[in-house]
């Protein structure tokens, strides 16, 4: 099986590269913007037609949530146009497609964990483009899997974990919001779920939507407290409300994902977020 991984230098793409040596039955091709401009329909068509891929895993995304509010053209090109180009190439070449989406497609006003079938209502431009990216896949008769995830972090790239460690090391105290609730997701766990089940995912018919995050629930404040504690950093973390830390893009106040579907259909268990955080911190 020949697998193309786009956005391979990001958090998830890097985690897939790290563990790919354990999957000797598969051949991997990794691309990022330097190797393939997925926002170019012409470049995507040529690259895909010149190679014999069985599956494309799209890890590429414009994830600078606040910049999306002002850099709308750039975010749309990556989060919508590029997805359309890849889906079209999959349709033209009979290739299966795995695409990564986000909890930002929900408005965060639920009081119970979001199921895949729940109403979507993104409140940020980032969430809007990610939802449109999901929707363009529906335009093509392909075998596709869309995975919505939340609060992604890794030993690679820029993320909340690294930001907290950096600032907590330099300062005596930090303020972190406590009224946004969700679940941190270790990109290494998501990468493992995908590659462990890729044969099953590739056999699915039509377009299939799944939620995936680690198990458990916390606030950003709780997450920060755990990071500082595990790293033995002497820094006081104080809880604040979202209104006290205004940002250009609104965040979902509640983005807990119901993962019953992926656990049942793939017959898999998902690690607890604190256990996965410990694993990630050993890599830093």
Comparing CA positions, the residue from 218, 233, 146, 211 lying closest to residue 183 is: 218
Would you say 213 and 277 are in contact if contact means Cβ atoms under 8 Å apart?
no
DSSP H helix total and E strand total for the chain: 12, 12
CA 177 from chain centre, in angstroms, equals: 21
Neighbours of 109 (CB within 10 A): 11
Catalytic one among 30, 106, 125, 126? 126
How far apart CA 269 and CA 262 sit, in angstroms, is 9
What residues contact 220, with CB distance under 8 A and at least 6 apart? 160, 176, 177, 178, 180
How far apart CA 157 and CA 121 sit, in angstroms, is 28
The DSSP symbol for 104 reads G
Residue 27: which H helix or E strand, with range?
strand 27-31
Would you say 93 and 141 are in contact if contact means Cβ atoms under 8 Å apart?
no
Asked if 126 is an active-site residue, the reply is yes
Strands 2-6 and 218-219: unpaired
Q: Which residues are catalytic?
A: 126
């Amino acid at each position: 099986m020949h697998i193309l991984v786009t956005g391979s230098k990001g958090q998830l793409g890097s985690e897939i590269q790290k563990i790919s040596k354990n999957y000797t039955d598969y051949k991997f091709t990794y691309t990022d913007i330097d190797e393939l401009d997925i926002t170019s329909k012409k470049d995507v068509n040529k690259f895909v037609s010149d190679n014999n891929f069985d599956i494309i895993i799209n890890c590429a995304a414009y994830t600078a949530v606040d910049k999306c509010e002002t850099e709308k053209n750039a975010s749309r090109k990556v989060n919508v146009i590029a997805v359309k180009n890849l889906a079209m190439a999959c349709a033209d070449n009979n290739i299966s497609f795995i695409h990564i989406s986000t909890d930002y497609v929900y408005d965060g006003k639920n009081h119970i964990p979001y199921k895949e079938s729940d109403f979507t209502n993104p409140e940020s431009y980032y969430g809007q483009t990610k939802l449109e990216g999901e929707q363009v896949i529906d335009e093509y008769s392909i075998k596709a899997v869309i995975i919505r995830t939340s609060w992604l972090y890794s030993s690679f790239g820029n993320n909340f974990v690294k930001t907290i460690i950096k600032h907590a090391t330099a300062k005596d105290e930090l303020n972190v919001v406590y009224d946004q609730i969700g679940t941190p997701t270790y990109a290494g766990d998501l990468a493992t779920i995908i590659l462990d089940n890729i044969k099953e995912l590739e056999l699915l018919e039509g377009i299939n939507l799944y939620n995936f995050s680690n198990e458990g629930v916390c606030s950003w404040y709780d997450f920060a407290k755990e990071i500082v504690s595990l790293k033995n950093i002497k820094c006081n973390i104080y809880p604040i409300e979202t209104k006290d830390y205004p940002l250009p893009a609104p965040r979902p106040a509640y983005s807990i994902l119901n993962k019953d579907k992926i656990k049942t259909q793939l017959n898999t268990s998902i690690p607890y977020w604190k256990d996965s955080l410990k694993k990630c911190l050993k890599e830093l």
